[in-house]
Structure 1
Amino acid sequence: MLPHAKDVESVGEAMQLAEVQGRSLWADARTRFFRNKAAVFGLILLVCVAIFAIFGGFFTQYERDVVDFSLMGANAYKGVPSFETGHYFGTDASGRDLYARIVQGTAISIMVGVVGATVAVIVGTLYGATAGYFGGRVDGIMMRTVDVLMSIPFMFVLILMLVIFGRSMFMLFLGIGLISWLDMARIARGQTLTIKNKEFVEVAHAIGVHPLKIILRHIVPNLLGIVAVYATLLVPQLIIFESFISFLGLGVQEPNTSLGALLSEGASNMFNGTIWQLQFPLIAFVFTIFAFFFVGDGLRDALDPKDR
């Protein structure tokens, strides 16, 4: 006996429903992410930028700190981009290959953003989860401390640190790390206030599990979604922040460089007939920032439970 058409449709709907219910949170988020064309474009662009920063140095004929004295000063306009000379992006005001320096600048800018975001996620998540879990007076003291720190003009503090202790990569990482974890702490604390009232946390507390273990094994893993989104959106903000510091001349120092330092140098020479010194670093900067923002927005949409 052949099955009725309605029965076939019911079976098909039931199978689709079972398939949806059987997907995990991360599998569902991955599906939603790859349906977002802007996020996929951002991911592809981000991979291309990362490949350029890691392997781009193998395709240059010049070292980033080798100076061509015939293209310095008043003769800088002669260092135009050319594949014949091997200066794909031209040369800078000091006669150095701009392509090689953009490769290094992109790598350092991404490293500053990723390291700063990693520090912010680790410190901010643990701090905020601890404050939210214990609550009461502990929460009040910890979060008022965050409020006080957020009221301090950290740009002035960072500049002061770099002037007093020296302009090094370590001090730059340390200064950016002091700023970036505060917002993450407030986000983690707000999420923890909701999670700590869940049944699995109350059961763990009732059977005598140590509070530190509850925070690390039950609360922090449930914060990974919002943490991943915030970290992805924080990276471009830190890259912009580092670029601003380097634009002022207080960031990465010679012979190293960053996109902010290259933009500063290009802007100071753009009226000397050497527009490429600003054009190519700006393109690399915009591509990097937009790639991270597109991926971050895609993750936020994919992991937002209100859209599911």
Structure 2
Amino acid sequence: MIDDVEHTNEIQGRSLWRDARARFMANRAALFGLVVLCFVVIFAAFGGLIAQFEPDYVDFSLMGSNAYMGTPSIETGHYFGVDYDGRDLFARTVMGTRISLLVGVVGAVVAVVVGTLYGAVAGYVGGRVDNAMMRTVDILMSIPFMFVLILMLVIFGRSMLMLFLGIGLISWLDMSRIARGQTLSIKNTEFVEAAVATGVRPLTIIIRHIVPNLLGIVIVYSTLLVPQMIIFESFISYLGLGIQEPNTSLGALINQGSEQLNNGTLWMLTYPLVFFLITLFGFFFVGDGLRDALDPKDR
């Protein structure tokens, strides 16, 4: 009898996040993706400490002869070789990985914050306000995303801040629709009705009661949104409108490496492309693991 009571208390004591953590830890692909992301973050944060050259240092003796003198070598200190301009590719890859991660994370945070608040307000208020807000989202979604982003960069300048804001502020539309749908199913629950009955203001209800209950879907969507932001930034940099010299990103490095394939310098494309792919796959695996762990239909 005592064992049954203890077993019942143990089952009742399992919270949503504890159960989700157990599910996530049991997912080998998600754990592998998490390990890969930790490696990429450590490389981006501390890779510069083991680099022998600065990212913008130009070795003029290697310019024009990098196909046979600038190959990857531990002895020369160019672990990943040099790029077309004679700059150390290892240091450039560290910088590119760091900037690409920043663009992805900052863009995803902006999109999630704006989209979640917008969708939560629309779903909670309802009526004509909800209809007007969501029709605005529908109109904005009909405008080509890349065209707007390229236009913003051309008009306001090709700066890193504008790239952050441009990607984030345009990518919140999908998040707003997700948050609005979840809010519609939450606003009629008992704890929200109790807050309304006690006279809590609508804005306080949205921030303290609605948004925290959207945290699960927000975390899942944000992990899947980061690689999408990185792909957008890489495409923009590939077109020459993204990160500008002397800074660089993985997309810009891939663009420069692809232009030198005919010169026998395959490493210029290989190393940035490898870090680009493992970063994307790491986020995708972690996002899928979080989705499976936080999906209420699986519990």
Match for 2:31: what amino acid?
V
User: Of residues 272, 278, 282 in structure 2, which corresponds to 1:287?
Assistant: 278
Question: SS state of the match for residue 69, structure 1?
Answer: coil
1:176 and 2:167 correspond: yes
Shift of 1:162: 1.1
User: Of residues 27, 35, 41 in structure 2, which corresponds to 1:44?
Assistant: 35
CA distance in 2, matches of 1:131, 1:138: 7
Shift of 1:15: 3.6
CA distance in 2, matches of 1:79, 1:179: 41
Q: TM-score normalized by structure 2? A: 0.97
Post-superposition CA distance 1:59-91 (Å, at most 9, x none): 011001010112113544421000000000000
Shift of 1:12: 4.9
1:231 maps to 222
Question: SS state of the match for residue 34, structure 2?
Answer: helix
Post-superposition CA distance 1:119-176 (Å, at most 9, x none): 0111100000000001010000000000001111121111111112211101111210
Consecutive unaligned residues in structure 1, runs of 5 or more: 1-6
Post-superposition CA distance 1:242-278 (Å, at most 9, x none): 0010011100000000000000000000110000000
Post-superposition CA distance 1:193-232 (Å, at most 9, x none): 0000101101111221100000001100000000000001
1:3 maps to none
Contact 2:83/2:268 (8 A) holds in 1: yes
1:111 and 2:102 correspond: yes
Match for 2:208: what amino acid?
R
1:30 and 2:21 correspond: yes
CA distance in 2, matches of 1:16, 1:124: 42
1:208 and 2:222 correspond: no
Contact 1:71/1:77 (8 A) holds in 2: no
Match for 1:113: what amino acid?
G
Match for 2:228: what amino acid?
Q
1:80 and 2:80 correspond: no
Question: SS state of the match for residue 61, structure 2?
Answer: helix
Contact 1:106/1:284 (8 A) holds in 2: yes
CA distance in 1, matches of 2:11, 2:297: 16
Shift of 1:238: 0.4
1:64 and 2:51 correspond: no
Q: TM-score normalized by structure 1? A: 0.95
Contact 1:112/1:173 (8 A) holds in 2: yes
Question: SS state of the match for residue 156, structure 1?
Answer: helix
Contact 1:266/1:277 (8 A) holds in 2: yes
Contact 2:48/2:91 (8 A) holds in 1: yes
CA distance in 1, matches of 2:66, 2:190: 72
CA distance in 1, matches of 2:202, 2:68: 65
Question: SS state of the match for residue 64, structure 1?
Answer: coil
Contact 1:124/1:184 (8 A) holds in 2: yes
Matches within 5 A, 1:211-290: 211-290=202-281
Matches within 5 A, 1:139-178: 139-178=130-169
Post-superposition CA distance 1:13-52 (Å, at most 9, x none): 6544432221111111111100000011111111111000
Match for 2:184: what amino acid?
L
Q: CA RMSD in A?
A: 1.2
CA distance in 2, matches of 1:54, 1:160: 32
Match for 1:207: what amino acid?
T
Contact 1:32/1:302 (8 A) holds in 2: yes
Contact 1:42/1:290 (8 A) holds in 2: yes
User: Of residues 194, 213, 216 in structure 1, which corresponds to 2:185?
Assistant: 194
User: What is the number of residues matched between the two proteins?
Assistant: 299
Question: SS state of the match for residue 209, structure 1?
Answer: coil
Question: SS state of the match for residue 81, structure 1?
Answer: coil
